[in-house]
A and B are shown apart, each in its own frame.
Chain A
Amino acid sequence: LAKTTQPISMDSYEGQEVNITCSHNNIATNDYITWYQQFPSQGPRFIIQGYKTKVTNEVASLFIPADRKSSTLSLPRVSLSDTAVYYCLVGQTDSWGKFQFGAGTQVVVTP
């Protein structure tokens, strides 16, 4: 399982775009990049997953450069309810979902 590094915390104001970059220098060819969100007293929640280039859904966008050694989760126009811990996870889709969670990034959104 590839090791990931992401900022410990990030602060933002409502309405701003938040970009969280995750480093995964040892990513393998078969590895995918997955992001989860966790609110206090809840289990993690899947946000988005990608392999390369750009992936977008109704919640976020995921940007992955050609070398795939990093990825950036972009949260557009955040609101107070986006305050949470965000985890970057790297693993193979055929590894049966054995995730290795890191410390995550605590995002705090203020008015």
Chain B
Amino acid sequence: EAGVTQFPSHSVIEKGQTVTLRCDPISGHDNLYWYRRVMGKEIKFLLHFVKESKQDESGMPNNRFLAERTGGTYSTLKVQPAELEDSGVYFCASSQDPKTAYEQYFGPGTRLTVT
């Protein structure tokens, strides 16, 4: 069974540009989460999808970040315009159902560098 995949693995962009990160969860997993770790900080929750609906987006830092999950399959996280403080590693995770939400399967992450 394929795990959670993320694309790209690494992205380097200039301040002010736009970047879109993609996450493909494990097939059949309705729950999809985005987390990020900015330099020197801890992994922080960004938001949670249940199928195509946003269940909790309380961790989204500001309106420069837009997450979508059309069709309830893969998800994208767009940062527009990117700022220097957005640099870090963005993780996506998925879980099968609410009863097993504690067991999340994480992808390898996308390392975003904003220069």
Would you call B4 an interface residue if the criterion is a C-beta within 8 Å of the partner chain's C-beta atoms?
A: yes
Do the beta carbons of A97 and B99 come within 8 Å of each other?
A: no
Interface size class of A (residues with CB under 8 A): 20 to 34
Would you call B88 an interface residue if the criterion is a C-beta within 8 Å of the partner chain's C-beta atoms?
A: no
Do the beta carbons of A41 and B98 come within 8 Å of each other?
A: no
Bound complex: CA of A99 vs CA of B95, how far in Å? Answer: 13
Interface residues of B (CB under 8 A from A): 4, 31, 33, 35, 42-45, 48, 50, 55-56, 58-59, 91, 93, 95, 98-99, 101-109
Further 16 A-B residue pairs, CB within 8 A, beyond A94-B98, A97-B98: A32-B102, A43-B91, A43-B93, A43-B107, A43-B109, A44-B106, A46-B102, A46-B104, A49-B103, A89-B102, A95-B101, A96-B31, A97-B31, A97-B95, A97-B102, A98-B33
Residues from chain A with a CB closer than 8 A to the CB of B44 are 101
Bound complex: CA of A9 vs CA of B56, how far in Å? Answer: 32
The interface bits of chain A over 43-56 (1 if a CB of B lies within 8 angstroms of the residue's CB, else 0) are 11110010000000
